[in-house]
A and B are shown apart, each in its own frame.
Chain A
Amino acid sequence: MNKFEKQLNKTVTGMKLSVTEKRELRARVVSYMEYHPRREKVAVEKAQAYLESQPYRILSFHNRFLQAFVGAAAVLVLIVVPTVAERSVPGDVLYPIKVRINEEVRGSLTFSATEKIEWETERLERRISEVRLLASEGRLTDETETQAVAAVKEHAEAAQDEIKKLKETDVDSATLAELEFESALEVQSVVLDAEQLDAATADATDELAVVVKAAQAATEAGKSTTTPSYEKITARLEQQTTRAYELFASLTDVVTPEQRTEVERRLSDIERKINTGVSRYEADGTVPLALLEALAGTQKLISFMTDIDVRTSVPLDSLVPVSLTDEEKQRYVNEQTAAGNALLTRIEEVLTDENATESLIGKVQVAKQTIEVLLATIENATQESSLDAQYIAAEEIAILYEDVTLLINQEIDSDDEIPADVEDAATTTDAVGSAIGTSTETATDTATSSGATTTVDTL
């Protein structure tokens, strides 16, 4: 190496980046690289992000026939099968889908405890109506019946559990749910009882009736004694009556005109009960039981309207008896007062009848006293303008009237001879009969035999 190169080298090696400069330069280059990543890398990262954002893309079907097939299969599995399964009954191929998939999915979509209880109740009703359907077609096997009984038990217990849970957080809602569940069970129980009379289905539904009764008893036992708050009841009533009216509107073409009138009557009864309840609450601040009755009634009415089995197998009256308006009650009281008076006249006749046996006379004398007391009660209640007290007394008179009339008739009917003064007696009792306006038949019967002379001590 010559002198030139030595000198050169010295200068050249002296010329270099300081450590700091090099570090800074490296950082600049690295950051440039980071801001300008390689295209392929970008492409790969983009592709990954795309795939991750659209997971379904991973399952891509390129073949057109395959696409059509997959589409058809999806429609079949997601729409057709569940829809068809919904109509299946135990023993059908699709029945497990109905119970284990359709119903479970629907159940998983219920969020509030009240909704859950409603859904369990509906499942219970479904199981019962399936059994009833199979029984009526003669297709019910012991196995399906056992399964249905187990399912009913299970749903009833689930509903009761939910109620119990709800009680811990919201006693009022729990009480209302309990009331509704009870009403639903009652409806089922009544229907099953009605079927017991039918020989074809009696055996089949025997066990179910037992299970439903047990569930009823269990609910009754765990029933809370508190009365829910006024707000809760009215809110629930509002909800359920709206549902009932909607159902009624949609049913007009399906039900018979008689059923229509009956339901209409019950709806107006409920409406009246609510109004009375509301005005009582406004007057003295206590929550009247009439409101709870209205809610139970609405619930049963809804069951009656929604369940065709219920509608066909039991009369509405056995589920929700007609509740009378004040005018109707007044008229009834008037009728019964007249009947009571007529009965008194009749008893006087018996007392003066020389053919009357001593035992009959003794009995009618007791009846006479009772009727006089009841009439006096009505009299007093009228002065106090307590319609309910009058009504209760009137009801007793009605029962008494029937019994005593029957008693007198039996005493005299057993006689072979037809009495001579039949005509006279008939006219008088006829008058009484028409005055009462009810049980004309019985009245006439009584009149026919009123003049009987022979006494047979059968009672």
Chain B
Amino acid sequence: MSPKRGNSVGAAAAGNQEERFLKAFDDYSDALFRHAAFRLSDRDRAIDVVHDTFAKAWTYVRDGHEVASFKPFLYKVLNNLIIDEYRKRREASLDAMFEVEGVDEGTFSELVGDDVESLINTLDGKRVLESLDRIPDTYREVIVLRYVDQLRPREIAVLIEETENVVSVRLHRGLALLKSKLDTENAT
């Protein structure tokens, strides 16, 4: 199907494009806000980013593109915006950068779900979320998507355009990092 034809099909559904978009807002704005709030640790900024997400998404729709399913699409847009936000902030410490580096395929233990489960059991959920801003966004991203947005590793992999393995490794490492941060905190 040529792009032009795609457009004309879109035009056929023209009347309800706006309705569909607003329904997506009603359905997902809360989840998106929550995601943004945990990622950015800034309520007002989160609202702005969610707004920008919908604005960007709408721009895409108004250009005549068809969006089959809004949920992954909106998450994708929001995620990209949050990444942009971090790039703008440039506040990542040298430490954080080093910590991010060298995310490889991961060790066996990191890739086994049980290992993650056992790690989780040692953590306090509330404190994890409060401490999220203390780990690099790369980890925070997957942790928020997994535990706040309740996405499965496969979905996260599609969203952040990485393999499922990478997602699992990041989850494991992120949680390990959080644990070590919290443990140090408790020790002091």
Contacts and interface: CB of A to CB of B under 8 A. Distances in A.
B38 A15 contact: yes
Contacts of B124: 4, 7
Contacts of A11: 125-126, 129-130
Contacts of B38: 12, 15
Interface stretch (B17-25, B76-84, B92-100): B17-25
Contacts of B147: 5, 8, 12
B14 interface: yes
Which range holds the interface residue count of chain B?
A: 35 or more
Nearest to A41: B14
A2 B130 CA distance: 19
B47 A21 contact: yes
A9 to B, nearest CB: 7
A292 B58 CA distance: 83
Classify the secondary structure of B's interface with A.
Answer: helix
A251 interface: no
Contacts of B58: 29, 32-33, 36
Contact of A37 (B47, B62, B120, B121): B62
Classify the secondary structure of A's interface with B.
Answer: helix
Interface in A23-51: 25-26, 28-30, 32-33, 36-41, 44
Nearest to B14: A40
Interface string B30-72: 1001100110000000010011001100110111100000000
Contacts of B126: 7-8, 10-11
B116 to A, nearest CB: 11
A16 B30 contact: yes
B34 A16 contact: yes
A249 interface: no
B123 interface: yes
A66 interface: no
Contacts of A106: none
B188 to A, nearest CB: 22
A17 B125 contact: no
A9 B7 contact: no
B121 A22 contact: no
Contact of B125 (A3, A22, A44): A3
B148 interface: yes
A97 B95 CA distance: 98
A6 interface: yes
Contacts of A33: 18, 21-22, 58, 62
Interface of A: 2-12, 15-17, 21-22, 25-26, 28-30, 32-33, 36-41, 44
7 contacts: A3-B125, A8-B129, A11-B129, A12-B34, A33-B22, A36-B59, A38-B62
Interface of B: 7, 10-11, 14, 17-18, 21-22, 25-26, 29-30, 33-34, 37-38, 47, 50-51, 54-55, 58-59, 61-64, 117, 120-121, 123-126, 128-130, 147-148
Given A8-B147, A8-B148, A38-B61, 16 more contacts: A2-B121, A3-B121, A6-B125, A7-B124, A12-B34, A12-B147, A15-B38, A17-B33, A22-B30, A25-B29, A26-B22, A29-B25, A29-B51, A32-B54, A38-B18, A40-B14
